[in-house]
Amino acid sequence: MRAKIITIGDEILVGQTVDTNSAYIAKKLNSIGVKISEIISITDTKSHIINSVDKAINDHDFIILTGGLGPTNDDITKNALVDYFDDELIEHPEILAKIKGFFERFNKPFLDVNELQAMLPKQARIIENDLGTASGMWFKKGKANILSLPGVPFEMKGLINKFIDLIKVDYEIGNFYHKTTLVAGIGESYFAEMIEDWESQNRIDGIGVAYLPSVGSLKLRLTGTLLQKAIIDERIKFIEDKFPKYIVGSDINSLEEKIGLLLLSKKAVLGTVESCTAGGLANKIVSIPGSSAYYSGSIVSYSDAIKQSIVGVLPETLKQHGAVSEETVIEMAKNGRTKLNVDYCISISGVAGPDGGTEEKPVGTVWIAIATPDQVLTKKFNFGYNRARNIQSTIMAALNFLRLTLMT
């Protein structure tokens, strides 16, 4: 089955809002075997909405629209779809009561304009919104299912999950299986070369191989039918056993998730001392629910003065070797372990750029140290010249360095 995703809103087209809805919807549909053929963003006009639906309706099983379902005059998706399907709006008393209850619960005044959100298409199947006031609408025409969702991301997520549950009942889909494993510490092309024979065998067997790269890591995914589940599981396990240095694990969503599992297994607590990443590493670690069980806190020592007064780096170390040096990050990690009273402490100092680089330490130079209960380990990295990418690359490198350390 094929699907097309249409996001509606001028704020997306001018770059004011980043479209995260499409990625979430695509992931959800893909998980049940519905393939996304196209994703587009369009302006808030009736003609664009109608034309976009009309172009997709004959060769797609699902058309998902997000945006334009609010109570104000610029939210025109509902009226555009009513015109396209030659429908009419009728009041849904149960929806109106729910909307009024929503305003009462949050002690907000109920306005006449809000009542319009209970006026919904007569022919559409209405999907109630448990997180807001804009209901989802499910139209059908021929083989096509057209679902209109609000653009607010957390409301959209609640409704698309409801929709997924409903279409699994109505349609025979799901003869589809994929398994993903997370890879870190090696570039996509290098890893692809290492597993070339393995990849070829999968393709011969009709199993799809996909590389999904991001900064500092990539996901390797195998896709096949439910009948191939055992083979796919076996192939993923083979890769994980053969390359433990690079494979974080299947069904692991991120390096920070793996770090949490490793620390919990060791009953150990982590702390961080950061310079050029300015708390970015700490933010990644605490993004995992329950991280308070294994993470104590961070010292953001961006300036040399803080490195000395708070962290305890010796003035002569900074004077002789500089802030971006092995000697400095060693003191940061060792002192941080003591000051934060943790089992492991990871420290970072680097030249993020775009200024500050020298011939000896160009932009992108980063030193990372990890103080363990037994020793201090260090690594030097050389990234590029883009400040934002350098910071992200440093965070991911630090997480992977920590992962390998905790595995020993």
The answer on pLDDT for 259 being more than 80 is: yes
**Confidence (pLDDT) at 167:** 87
**Confidence (pLDDT) at 237:** 96
pLDDT band for position 13 (50/70/90)?
very high
Residue keyed to tokens 């929709």: 163
CATH code, 2-170: 3.40.980.10
pLDDT band for position 74 (50/70/90)?
confident
DSSP assignment, residue 287?
A: T
Which residues of the chain are in CATH 3.90.950.20 domains? 255-407
- Pull the structure tokens for residue 347: 């420290």
- In angstroms, the CA 111 to CA 223 distance is 50
- In angstroms, the CA 18 to CA 20 distance is 6
Which residues of the chain are in CATH 3.40.980.10 domains? 2-170
Regarding the domain with residue range 255-407, which homologous superfamily does it belong to in the CATH classification? CinA-like (3.90.950.20)
- In angstroms, the CA 179 to CA 190 distance is 21
Mean pLDDT of 204-231: 94
- In angstroms, the CA 282 to CA 279 distance is 5
**Confidence (pLDDT) at 175:** 75
Which residues of the chain are in CATH 3.30.70.2860 domains? 177-250
CA distances from 310 to 58, 235, 276, 304, 339 (A): 66, 50, 16, 10, 9
Of the candidate ranges 63-67, 83-87, 111-115, 321-325, the one whose mean pLDDT is the lowest: 111-115
The answer on pLDDT for 395 being more than 90 is: yes
Mean pLDDT of 115-134: 94
Contacts of 270 (CB under 8 A, 6+ apart): 259, 263, 285, 294, 295, 296, 342, 343, 344, 345, 346, 402
DSSP per residue, 11-52: HHHTTSS---HHHHHHHHHHHTTPEEEEEEEE-S-HHHHHHH
CATH code, 177-250: 3.30.70.2860
The answer on pLDDT for 28 being more than 80 is: yes
- In angstroms, the CA 250 to CA 23 distance is 21
Residue pLDDT, tens place only, 162-193: 999 998 888 877 678 889 999 999 999 999 99
Burial of 179 (0-12, 13-18, 19+ CB in 10 A): middle
Contacts of 198 (CB under 8 A, 6+ apart): 235, 238, 239
402 Ramachandran zone, left/alpha/beta (phi>0; psi -120 to 50): alpha
- In angstroms, the CA 155 to CA 255 distance is 28
